[in-house]
Amino acid sequence: MIMDVRQVIKSFNIEDPVESFESFGGGHINDTFLINTVGEGRKYILQNVNRYVFKDIDGLMNNISLVTEHIHEKLLEKKVADIESRSLELIKTKDNKLYVDDEFNAWRVFNFIEDHVVYDIAPNREIAFEGARMFGLFLNQLSDLDPSGIVETIPKFHDIKFRLSNLEAAIKADPLKRVRSLEKEINYVRSRYELMSIIQNLGEKGLLTPRIVHNDTKINNVLFDRKNNGLCVVDLDTIMPGYLHYDYGDGIRTCANTGAEDDEDLNNVGYDLEIVEAFTAGFIQSVHSILNKTERSSLAYAALLFPFIMGVRFLTDYIAGDVYYKINHTYHNYFRARAQLKLARDGEAKLSEIQRIIEKALKNSKD
């Protein structure tokens, strides 16, 4: 790997001589290296993109290029200081390409954003607010970029009807005879088909605005400075066309859950409404000016949909024999599915409260 990495680095337009490199970050899919240049030169991130996970590397890299260049132009227009810390920049190869290939991987280089802080969970309301504000700003900055130019890197990623169809196929096949012990979970999922299809149905009727969305709005995909101000949104591999409900729903699913994603004790699982309120306020502050009427009235349903869709995906994988998600033990996907479906039920119970939180945030964010 050492010789491979050194050889790959030479293919990119890195201004200063490279002094060293080291493994960086904790990603589960792509290998990442921090590139140190001589003296006080810039640092860079070198990363491979796993071809077994992402099949359309050209499409994925073109997505990232379009989005990062668009955001860069927005920052220039607003004369934002320290632009290099406020957006990712793809460093092209010496022959002006977005990435280079070796036998198994596509390699790319980004600028390294110095002196940043990352949170795996939101420790307080302030971090939840600022992280959400950054995700909303990301959506706002891209609101005038045509989503038809962005490809689906993972087709039907948040298509609930597709996910439910996959579940029914797994139930029918039942290769490990696990279905007989899942009556409660399956009955709940089947009883919620209509409710959980509300957002997708609105989109199919043309009542929601198609947008370029991040699709993975965990708080650790925001970089903060040392004063906890948001710097930049990262991890752009799942940028795809969609609805802003996706980024709001996945954000509060991961940020405002009082339990763990795979919590075995369902008493731990539920929405912390204080964190929901903080996240919502930050998100709405950035996106209120681009929301249409239907988006405003339907946004709360994302709090139900996103734990539900993850519960369906985990349940499908458990029934199918744990063929997609990595597991730590035999029942890992089962506990994941239970916990996420419990969070969806809690979202149902708190739907009116979440709607009031959204309406309050909208009122406070009027131009």
Q: Which two tokens stand for residue 220?
A: 């650790």
Task: Pick the range with the lowest mean pLDDT from 44-48, 49-53, 85-89, 283-287.
Answer: 49-53
Residue 20's pLDDT is 81
Q: Which two tokens stand for residue 276?
A: 């929901």
Label residue 298 by pLDDT band (50, 70, 90).
Answer: very high
Average pLDDT for residues 137-142, to the nearest whole number? Answer: 97
Say if CB 341 and CB 188 are below 8 A apart.
yes
CB atoms closer than 10 angstroms to residue 155: 11
Say if CB 160 and CB 309 are below 8 A apart.
yes
Mean pLDDT of the chain: 92
Sole residue written with tokens 């795979």: 262
**Partner residues linked to 93 by β-bridges:** 12
Residue 28's pLDDT is 43
What confidence tens digit (pLDDT) does each residue in 4-19 have? 777 888 889 987 888 8
CA angle (332, 354, 186) in 5-degree steps: 35
As separate numbers, helices (DSSP H) first and strands (DSSP E) second, the chain gives: 13, 10
- Whether 2 has a pLDDT exceeding 60, the answer reads no
Domains of the chain by start residue, with CATH: 2-111 (3.30.200.20), 125-364 (3.90.1200.10)
What confidence tens digit (pLDDT) does each residue in 120-138 have? 999 999 999 999 999 999 9
What confidence tens digit (pLDDT) does each residue in 310-328 have? 999 999 999 999 998 889 9
30-63 burial code (b ≥16 CB/10 A, e <16)? bbbbebbbeeeeebbbbbbbbeeebeebeebbeb
Average pLDDT for residues 221-231, to the nearest whole number? Answer: 95
Label residue 25 by pLDDT band (50, 70, 90).
Answer: low
